[in-house]
Amino acid sequence: MKHILVPIDFSDLSQFTVSVARQIAEAIGSKITYIHAVQVSGEVLLDDSGNLIDSEEFDVTILRNEMSASEIKIRAIVADEPQNSDGICTYGSPEHVVLNELENRHYDLVIMGTHGAFGLKGLILGSHTEHIAMKSAVPVLSLKSVEKDLGNIVYASSFSKPNKLPDAVVYLIKTLGKKITFLNIVAKDSEIREKEVIEGMNKLAELSGIKDFETALYASTDLESGIEEYCHAHATGLLVFESKGRTGISRWISGCVSAELVNHYDHALLTFKRD
């Protein structure tokens, strides 16, 4: 894992995100790129390079001042880095800016804070982090709390088709993990046999090179509730979950557990897609 992208908004949660990114980067020798988006309204025009276009109808002075202040802050963050890192400030929505950066440069991981989105807003819009996590081709580590120890890790899955975890996920588990639990949620009237689930867990661990882990089967009415109940009961710091990447209407109709967890789960969540 050579390059980590860290979107920031200079909040307290962003400061925690920076510290986590530094911890991971130092442990595995990764470069960090920090990126900040100065949000603009639909009335503001940008050229092909993302620069503001002066307009008689809209005063862009405030936006330019915000950009200047943001550039100073991000340079200060980069200056404190012990390893080779850089920073980017640009105009646009956080979602568009981050996804565009992921398309144009190679990254192995995204680490970002999220305040989530709830109720009707969550249903219609979701959070920026949710959208990025659903669309990103690389794993996304979403942080919500500055007080939680990430070392107690839970990987939740059905384990019915055990495949090797992505390298970036394995690196993070081994770097952050003090305790790792493989969790399967057993819904009511489930025909899944405990022996088969345990065999799937052991196989996944073998394929992924994870030797030290615990196993857990937890009964619940539904998957999302079961995961949240188990993680709260066992003081989980980081939940790892495979994203199916459903967005828009398909998510409304079919639902997407990983999207709901990004928005509603209280603490850190690492989502990933299969290669």
Average pLDDT by stretches of 10, the chain with 275 residues: 92 89 89 91 60 64 88 93 86 88 94 61 46 84 76 90 89 87 84 87 95 93 84 89 57 45 67 77
Number of domains in the chain: 1
Of 221, 21, 12, 2, the C-alpha closest to 141 is 21
Packed helices 167-176 and 12-28: angle between N→C axes, nearest 10 degrees? 100
The predicted structure's pLDDT at residue 35: 95
Note the pTM of the prediction, 2 decimals: 0.82
C-alpha span between 250 and 213 (Å, rounded): 35
What are residue 119's phi and psi, to 5 degrees? 60, -145
Q: Domain span at residue 100?
A: 3-272
Can you tell me whether residue 65 is helix, strand or coil?
helix
Residue 252: its pLDDT value, please?
34
pLDDT at 54: 64
Q: What is the pLDDT of residue 128?
A: 63
Return the CATH number at 155: 3.40.50.12370
How much is the pLDDT for 226?
87
